[in-house]
Chains A and B, each alone.
Chain A
């Protein structure tokens, strides 16, 4: 019997390790951003502290998202500094007139309708509320993509168990719902889906 439980426990352990440690590594593919963009540096150099200095929210409620290459060209019309990425930016994107294929961590699927205007202008939420303080760091995060659903890992959140250690993890529907529940805001399915 003792031997039995030992063998059983061994099987259990192997499976648990595979499931909790191995599986996430297999499930998500890791992709680098096309350019090493540093939020902090840009904030300092351009002297713009506010998110919406670059990620503008227009009067008609339209949110610009990631700034266009025209905005980059404002400073980077010619190479600034000597880094390899700098050359790439100027030559293969700005000069070529091609948009930079950023991988968007917070990208929601096509069936989701999200209005920054409503959340910022009406609910006065801070960008951090959902986007963490990424904008203040100088790290270039690796973009992790779920191989099956194609979602960015940020949607599910980084803890595979969805037991959050930081409040800012996960942008799943449940996370939207939690926030809405706290604020007693009732939204129908098509309130956020299209």
Chain B
């Protein structure tokens, strides 16, 4: 029989009806939408057990306590460690995304020499050659670590120079070195006991010192109170967040902090608001007023307010001696709620040796990328990430945070001595070496970081002072062996020394230091890594909370 066109039409009609009555269209409709819910190119979190570890953040000298959530052996979330006595469960905003830095696209994975590919052997050879030809300088961003003493001893052997570059918090303490004969690193601001804090441009609420430290104090004792227990007076040259949050805000001419300090000191002495402790400032009140751009009455009023609620302390944002001298006049040096000496002096000294006449300079990864040594020497730059254009000859990849064993000594400007250990939680990428490991390879005689850390634990144990803060705090005297102590610290415990004995600090200031304008410090921020965590875009690009940082997140 003949199949007509009509037959095909009818057959098609039947087939269509059949398809509609079959699962095909409906199942396809469903499965395609399920497909959109599980697009294969969209990454999903790994399945696996979740564990929580405690450690310390090594991105800046403050070493906040970290609570690390790990899944499938990788860190999947960071939070503050409540038991940490200084950071008290807080982190800086960047810290909360820091676990992703391990995977940052700018991560350095191979040695580079002047932009070209190179190898550890070549780098080592070049460094050894340099050592044999002349003195080497080593620059350290977080002094006082085990690695720091590796640097120091290496530099001393090679009659080179060890140089630690301090953040503004520590710098503000350097003027007292001369007057108290105590190294600045052993001094601290006893904010916890102060009643009035006068900050000369120090961004106390905006990235000053350990993030959790002052913000906790301020929140508990000042925030939103019209007559707060803790009075924050903020002297600034341009409107800042800290200023708008302060109890009082005083806006002065740029660079006139010293002048204002002198003016205040003069009022304090002339109006007999304080017992005569030190020399009279060189500036007259009217000069101070004229320079700082606020009236003499305002300065006098400010001086009176400062001493109205004591203890009072002035905090500079640099090493300006005038503000330090003001503290002397206020009697803040060596008194409760002022500048105090921490319980256990460390023997390490800060040499500010200049690096000009060095044959080679080794810069540790703890130094901010911006740092450029004023030298023509061959520069060996250790870093975990590539921060963009650099004048360093060698770029040497190091382990990142959570990948390397580091000890974290007392945070800058802290009033109490602390000691913590950041144990590696994940294996570093192959082909990375920390500066300390690099030097240890070159000088086998030198003690490795592990040994030094053990020795320090041993020292702490023999000191029989302080307590270890973990889930519960244990007096050192209750800890049997150095191994036990180290184990506790490696698991996120923090050793805390005895509270400072303020009176122990003697200070004599002969004549008022020469006036000089405040200058921005060598390292603007504590953040040492050359890149920011990817999630920082939430702060800088995806909101207008903070001003964008152009290069940092590249």
- Residues of A with Cβ closer than 8 Å to B? 3-4, 7-16, 18-20, 23-24, 27, 62, 109-111, 146, 148-151, 160-161
Once the chains bind, are A11 and B27 in contact (CB under 8 Å)?
no
Once the chains bind, are B13 and A20 in contact (CB under 8 Å)?
no
Residues of chain B contacted by A110 (CB below 8 angstroms): 38, 44-45
Residues of chain B contacted by A12 (CB below 8 angstroms): 14-15, 17-18, 21
Distance (Å) between the CB of B383 and the closest chain A CB?
Answer: 34
B35 within 8 A of A: yes
Once the chains bind, are A4 and B34 in contact (CB under 8 Å)?
no
Which one of B4-12, B340-348, B466-474, B531-539 is at the A interface?
B4-12
Q: What separation, in Å, do the CA atoms of A27 and B13 have in the docked complex?
A: 25
Residues of chain A contacted by B226 (CB below 8 angstroms): none
Q: What separation, in Å, do the CA atoms of A161 and B45 have in the docked complex?
A: 33
B37 within 8 A of A: yes
- Residues of B with Cβ closer than 8 Å to A? 7, 10-19, 21-24, 27-28, 31-32, 34-35, 37-38, 40, 44-45, 49
Distance (Å) between the CB of A97 and the closest chain B CB?
Answer: 14
Once the chains bind, are A161 and B10 in contact (CB under 8 Å)?
no
Q: What separation, in Å, do the CA atoms of A24 and B166 have in the docked complex?
A: 70
Distance (Å) between the CB of A60 and the closest chain B CB?
Answer: 10
Residues of chain A contacted by B17 (CB below 8 angstroms): 8, 11-12, 15
Specify the chain A residue showing the minimal Cβ separation from B13: A8
Once the chains bind, are A15 and B15 in contact (CB under 8 Å)?
yes
Q: What separation, in Å, do the CA atoms of A7 and B34 have in the docked complex?
A: 37
Once the chains bind, are B18 and A109 in contact (CB under 8 Å)?
no
Once the chains bind, are A7 and B15 in contact (CB under 8 Å)?
no
Specify the chain A residue showing the minimal Cβ separation from B24: A19
Known contacts: A11-B11, A12-B15, A15-B14. The answer to whether A109 contacts B22 by CB under 8 A is no
Q: Which 7 A-B pairs have the closest CB atoms?
A: A19-B22, A15-B18, A11-B14, A149-B34, A110-B44, A8-B14, A148-B31
Distance (Å) between the CB of B14 and the closest chain A CB?
Answer: 3
Q: What separation, in Å, do the CA atoms of A104 and B468 have in the docked complex?
A: 46
Distance (Å) between the CB of B25 and the closest chain A CB?
Answer: 9
Residues of chain A contacted by B35 (CB below 8 angstroms): 148-150
Inter-chain residue pair count (beta carbon < 8 A): 89
Distance (Å) between the CB of A17 and the closest chain B CB?
Answer: 8
Once the chains bind, are B38 and A11 in contact (CB under 8 Å)?
no
From the candidates A7, A19, A27, A109, name the one contacting B14 in the complex (CB within 8 A): A7
From the candidates B18, B31, B34, name the one contacting A13 in the complex (CB within 8 A): B18
Known contacts: A11-B13, A149-B34. The answer to whether A20 contacts B44 by CB under 8 A is no
Besides A11-B12, A111-B37, A149-B31, 14 more A-B contacts (Cβ < 8 Å) are A7-B7, A8-B11, A11-B11, A12-B17, A13-B14, A15-B16, A15-B17, A18-B24, A20-B23, A109-B34, A109-B37, A146-B31, A150-B40, A160-B23
Distance (Å) between the CB of B221 and the closest chain A CB?
Answer: 39
Residues of chain A contacted by B28 (CB below 8 angstroms): 148
From the candidates B10, B23, B40, name the one contacting A4 in the complex (CB within 8 A): B10
Residues of chain A contacted by B45 (CB below 8 angstroms): 110
From the candidates B11, B19, B38, name the one contacting A7 in the complex (CB within 8 A): B11
Residues of chain B contacted by A151 (CB below 8 angstroms): 34
Distance (Å) between the CB of A56 and the closest chain B CB?
Answer: 12
Q: What separation, in Å, do the CA atoms of A110 and B43 have in the docked complex?
A: 10
From the candidates B11, B19, B37, B49, name the one contacting A10 in the complex (CB within 8 A): B11
Known contacts: A7-B11, A8-B10. The answer to whether A109 contacts B38 by CB under 8 A is yes
From the candidates B10, B18, B27, B38, name the one contacting A150 in the complex (CB within 8 A): B38
Distance (Å) between the CB of B43 and the closest chain A CB?
Answer: 10
Specify the chain A residue showing the minimal Cβ separation from B19: A15
Residues of chain A contacted by B27 (CB below 8 angstroms): 23, 27, 160
Q: What separation, in Å, do the CA atoms of A150 and B38 have in the docked complex?
A: 8
Residues of chain B contacted by A11 (CB below 8 angstroms): 10-18
Residues of chain A contacted by B21 (CB below 8 angstroms): 12, 15-16, 19
Q: What separation, in Å, do the CA atoms of A24 and B12 have in the docked complex?
A: 22
Residues of chain A contacted by B13 (CB below 8 angstroms): 8, 11
Distance (Å) between the CB of A102 and the closest chain B CB?
Answer: 12
Could you give 20 example pairs across A and B, Cβ below 8 Å? Answer: A3-B7, A4-B10, A8-B11, A8-B13, A8-B17, A11-B14, A11-B16, A13-B14, A18-B18, A18-B19, A19-B24, A23-B22, A23-B24, A27-B27, A62-B49, A111-B38, A146-B31, A148-B28, A149-B35, A161-B23
Q: What separation, in Å, do the CA atoms of A4 and B7 have in the docked complex?
A: 7
Distance (Å) between the CB of B391 and the closest chain A CB?
Answer: 46
Residues of chain A contacted by B19 (CB below 8 angstroms): 15, 18-19
Q: What separation, in Å, do the CA atoms of A109 and B34 have in the docked complex?
A: 10
Residues of chain A contacted by B31 (CB below 8 angstroms): 27, 146, 148-149
Q: What separation, in Å, do the CA atoms of A37 and B16 have in the docked complex?
A: 45
Once the chains bind, are A23 and B23 in contact (CB under 8 Å)?
yes
Specify the chain A residue showing the minimal Cβ separation from B40: A150
Q: What separation, in Å, do the CA atoms of A11 and B22 have in the docked complex?
A: 13
Residues of chain A contacted by B49 (CB below 8 angstroms): 62
Residues of chain A contacted by B34 (CB below 8 angstroms): 109, 148-149, 151
Residues of chain A contacted by B16 (CB below 8 angstroms): 11, 15
Specify the chain B residue showing the minimal Cβ separation from A15: B18
